[in-house]
Amino acid sequence: KNQVEQSPQSLIILEGKNCTLQCNYTVSPFSNLRWYKQDTGRGPVSLTIMTFSENTKSNGRYTATLDADTKQSSLHITASQLSDSASYICVVSDRGSTLGRLYFGRGTQLTVWP
Amino acid sequence: EADIYQTPRYLVIGTGKKITLECSQTMGHDKMYWYQQDPGMELHLIHYSYGVNSTEKGDLSSESTVSRIRTEHFPLTLESARPSHTSQYLCASSDRTSGSPSTDTQYFGPGTRLTVL
């Protein structure tokens, strides 16, 4: 069972609308959580990173939240644009190894329609 | 935009061929990684390196091999490609954003889409 679960698997919204993507994880001991954006045929690009003590972080129209007690995170996209169409991947890092192992979710495929 | 490059971007080859996927970065990062990603699935770490002459296998077993002779270069080789190797291969490198290695930020290349017929 994947230790990082994302929902929904896919989402279609109209341009200008807001949306929220969810990430639940079981990774322990927790170190940090990242949200990446991956355009089709490209490598992931980091949007935000949050450590245990942070519960919200913004990057332009992207706002990520973290509840380390319930092991949940969300990524809120405001006033969506066509260029937001991509896969959004939740990545959780543990602190139980020297490498700082990363656990990847399968992503939420977001499509923004005009 | 990260300065990490992968070539080729797309490769279609026949079974049994030897291939090398190139990855290079100009950021001076010590750590480099190779991931395999199938459509709609999560990334799986197949190889990583802490620096020159350091290579380790990742979580997902892979028949590929890697080398790290120079800091900026981390090629991946398949001696005899098979259809089961068809996938997207992503290279990444990381710096140190704090004192803990687990907070390294990984920068990804654009990927190589490999198809083995």
**Chain segment A82-103, per-residue pLDDT in tens:** 999 999 999 998 876 555 678 9
Residues of B in contact with A32 (CB under 8 A): 102-103
Token representation of residue A107? 């992503």
CB atoms within 10 A of CB A99: 18
pLDDT one-digit tens code per residue, B41-85: 899 999 999 899 999 998 887 889 999 999 999 999 999 999 999
Q: How far is A102 from chain B (nearest CA, A)?
A: 8
Q: Which amino acid is at B84?
A: S
pLDDT reading at B97 higher than 60: no
Residues of A in contact with B54 (CB under 8 A): none
Q: Do B90 and A107 touch (CB under 8 A)?
A: no
Residues of B in contact with A107 (CB under 8 A): 40, 42
Q: Do B103 and A51 touch (CB under 8 A)?
A: yes
pLDDT of B110? 94
Name the region of A109 (left: φ>0; alpha: ψ -120 to 50; beta: rest).
Answer: beta
